[in-house]
Amino acid sequence: MTFHNFFLFRRFNLLLFFYFFTSFIADAQNEIDLSIRQRVSDLMSKMTLEEKIGQMNQYNGFWNVTGPSPAEGNAKEKYDHLAKGWVGSMLNVRGAEEVRAVQKVAVEQSRLGIPLIIGFDLIHGYKTISPIPLAESASWDLDAIKNAASLGAKEAAAAGINWTFAPMVDITRDARWGRVMEGAGEDPYLGSQIASARVKGFQGLDLSSPNTVAACAKHFAAYGFAEAGRDYNTVDIGDNTLHNIVLPPFKAATEAGVKTFMNSFNDLNGIPATADKNLQRNILKGDWGFEGFIVSDWGSLKEMIDHGYAENNHHAGSLGLNAGSDMDMESYIYLTELKSLLKEGEVTMAQINDAVRRILTVKFELGLFEDPYKYCDVEREQSVIGSKEMNEGVLDMARKSMVLLKNDKGILPLKKQAQKIALIGPLAADKNSPLGNWRIAAENNSAVSVLEGLQAYKGNVITHEQGVKLVEAIPAFHEEVQINTTDKCGFKAAIKAAKKADVVVMVLGEYGFQSGEGRSRTKLGLPGFQQELLEAVYKVNPNIVLVLMNGRPLVLNWAEAHLPAILETWHLGTQSGNAIAEVLYGDYNPSGKLPMSFPRSVGQLPLYYNYKSTGRPGADGTDAGSVFWSHYGDEKNTPLYPFGYGLSYTTFEYSNIRLSSNTLDLESSITASVTVSNTGKVKGKEVVQMYIKDHFASTTRPVRELKGFELLSIEPGASVDVQFEISKEDLEFYTEKKIWEAEPGAFTVFIGTNSATKRYAAFTLR
């Protein structure tokens, strides 16, 4: 046997082994499913009505609050309820010991000893913090995003957590909304890919492993479309937007096997999402066959009274369960109302049983019945939390998440020797803001600052000045610092330092809690005196690299028009300063691309690349010849930086876009190809993006939609051919008939470096 044949033989054997092994696992998995079903039924046959209702009740922990502080429910009462079997889940209890303590009451003191499922907002890392989700999404690197989720799961699971309230898969088009930091941005295709990667990362291949947690797709649905970007506000969108834009990432999460869903605070077209039967029972549990359970958002059952939709708690309980909300987070309504609602015939026993079955199934799948304390090992907690593996993981993700917005005159990368650098800005030495929002378990001030990151490179002299000071803020919600808005006394020293410097690095943006839940804003410029500081420094030294830290797109017109370099770093997490320094010094070549359009003005919002043409589009959106077209009198229609935009320290050229055929029929596929060349001097990564335009359809269609992307690494001087397969699935949408299908007609494919690319080829679907 030649070496080649031997290799083939071995490969064949390996494949055979793999085939039998995977079918064995699949069989075993089915058996597990069957046995879980049986075990759930057995257990339910022993449960009283109170115990069943108890499983549908979730309490917040005794201290750490991620919503309005509840009026009821002191610690003592909660322990009593745990012992009575009236609580199925707790959130915001964390740490192996704390979790063990509550679990012990549930398991050892309640009649049936049903373990609790412990929920937590593991949004971007537990204690070792990864970049905010919007930043991670800017990497367009699905493997890295999945890995970040699985590392977060491992760290949180070591601290007693077995269920995360993530990923947030809400599509968002409005940067005023503070929670854009928590999602994957404006695009349903990218959002779906990322939703799937995150679910798989959190849940892994085996939910019962001690390193994985159950995931939760939230907020179902349309929470990201809050009117005027004001959090919790009304949502009014039609079926076309709901099905084509909002729902796809939720569907992708379902297909990835997500175990739970959370509904949302908003009302959607007149119905609070918590009571939306069509969404929860018809679409999610019906059409999509979702078998997991739905938890309400914090107090969202009770909030239906404020919405003016429920008359009182009693009514809210009935609305929630009838609509398929299985677990009540912090409203105390199911616990108090379900029994009487059942008696009155307002809800049915079948509905209660269905909810309980769903909840218990996830608990069995997590392996909680085998060992309720499997997440409560203090030694494991100590060795996993903050470990080298965690820090290396978040550093890797941080490098990949940055977006180079501008780099003229080759000011970046910075020279490593003999430079005088003035490092200016309130966020330059801040160790708290880079952690961003939603990092409950992180220690305050635990991030590596930009100052520390730059200081690790010894060759240059660095002078640091805040310019605009940070001030102490409300310590609740970890809000240690804010950017001061009253005092400019730091300007003088900053200007002095800038005058003497070869290069000025200015670190400006939003403090860590300026975006996130309840953090909507009407102004999107640099907050406080930062813009004024930037312009004052520019007057004495225009050689400025602007390093931005923020949780949402900002309006950056002045910076774009005047500064030679802008680097978007978002809130990058624990290893922030190290990652930023590597990029500034060229040890890492940035490759991130924007997951949201950056507006020129707040007045353009909502702003997104996949808009509809309108009947008066103007010539290429810039027609100056007439007033009667869809535009503003005082601003362009286009964004400052489009969706998918981002530069590199090298340059890429696209050429030779071609199709394998100009016609596609419903049963086959065609290939779209393009050649991408690295025309610069260093190796670089490029996200090659493919967009498709459907020219004419039974409902109006977006001007283009992302339908594929490929992250490539290319050596300088090299060229790579990239191919995308296009089949009818890529052309499907929610049609006039209210089903997903592709309609024959003319299409255009665009392939390029961002959503504004003009390079195209055309084909027809027959």
The residues annotated as belonging to the active site are 297
Cα–Cα distance between 616 and 623 in angstroms, integer? 10
**Site track 81-120 with ligand NOJ (rule: CB under 6 A), x = hit:** ----------x-----------------------------
From candidates 50, 64, 67, 613, binder to ligand NOJ by CB under 6 A: 67
- Among 610, 510, 520, 586, CA closest to 177: 520
For ligand NOJ, how many residues bind (rule: CB under 6 A)?
Answer: 9
Say how far apart CA 58 and CA 119 lie, in whole Å.
9
Phi, psi of 403 (to 5 degrees): -120, 120
Return d(Cα 63, Cα 66) in angstroms, integer: 10
Q: Residue 325 CB, nearest distance to ligand NOJ (Å)?
A: 14
Q: Which is nearer to ligand NOJ, 223 or 747 (CB)?
A: 223
- Considering only residues 51, 121, 396, 694, which one is a binding residue for ligand NOJ as defined by CB under 6 A? 121
Closest of 436, 540, 427, 444 to residue 484, by C-alpha: 427
Place of tokens 């019962």: 208
Residue nearest ligand NOJ (C-beta atom): 66
| Total residues found in the chain within this entry | 766
Confirm if 118 and 90 have CB atoms less than 8 A apart: yes
Nearest in space to 118 (alpha carbons), one of 167, 80, 156: 156
In 557-644, alpha helices (H): 557-562, 576-584
Exactly one of 174, 187, 297, 705 binds ligand NOJ (CB under 6 A); that residue is 297
CB of 120 to ligand NOJ, least distance (A): 8
The answer to whether residue 70 forms part of the interface with ligand NOJ (CB under 6 A) is: no
* Comparison of 163 and 734: residue with beta carbon closer to ligand NOJ: 163
Cβ-based nearer residue to ligand NOJ, 235 or 687: 235
Contact 716, 651 (CB under 8 A): no
- Residue number with CB closer to ligand NOJ (231 or 710): 231
Window 195 to 234, contacts with ligand NOJ (CB under 6 A): 218
Shortest distance in whole angstroms from residue 375 CB to ligand NOJ? 19
Nearer to ligand NOJ, 217 or 742 (CB): 217
CB of 166 to ligand NOJ, least distance (A): 8
How far apart, in Å, are the Cα atoms of 456 and each of 260, 392, 401, 577, 658? 43, 17, 21, 10, 48
The backbone region for 697, taken as left when phi is positive above 0, alpha when psi lies in -120 to 50, beta otherwise, is beta
- Rounded to a whole number of angstroms, the minimum distance from the CB of residue 235 to ligand NOJ is 14
**Residue number with CB closer to ligand NOJ (195 or 556):** 195
The DSSP-derived string for 463-519 is EEE-SS-EEE---GGG--EEE-SS--TTHHHHHHHHHT-SEEEEEEE--TTSSSTT-
Q: For residue 519, give the amino acid letter.
A: R
Q: Is residue 298 involved in binding ligand NOJ (CB under 6 A)?
A: yes
Contact string (CB under 6 A) for ligand NOJ, positions 502-541, x = contact: ---------------x------------------------
Least separation in angstroms between residue 74's CB and ligand NOJ is 20
Q: Which of 33, 39, 50, 66 binds ligand NOJ (CB under 6 A)?
A: 66
Q: What is the CA radius of gyration of the chain?
A: 27
The candidate with the shortest Cα–Cα distance to 481, out of 454, 509, 517, is 509
Quick note: the x/- pattern for ligand NOJ over 143-182, rule CB under 6 A, is: ----------------------x-----------------
Minimum Å gap between C-beta 121 and ligand NOJ is 5
Query: Of the two residues 188 and 299, which places its CB atom closer to ligand NOJ in the complex?
Result: 299
Between 167 and 512, name the residue whose CB sits nearer to ligand NOJ: 167
> How many other CB atoms are found less than 10 A from the CB of residue 696?
11
Q: Which residues touch 253 (CB under 8 Å, ≥6 apart)?
A: 167, 169, 195, 196, 199, 215, 217
**Crossing angle for the helix pair 349-365 and 333-343, nearest 10 degrees?**
140
Pairwise CA distance, residues 60 & 330, whole Å = 7
Q: Which is nearer to ligand NOJ, 165 or 225 (CB)?
A: 165
At its nearest, how many Å lie between ligand NOJ and the CB of residue 172?
14
Least distance from ligand NOJ to the Cβ atom of residue 684, Å: 37
267 near ligand NOJ, judged by CB under 6 A:
no
Q: Which residues of this chain interact with ligand NOJ, rule CB under 6 A?
A: 66-67, 91, 121, 165, 218, 297-298, 517
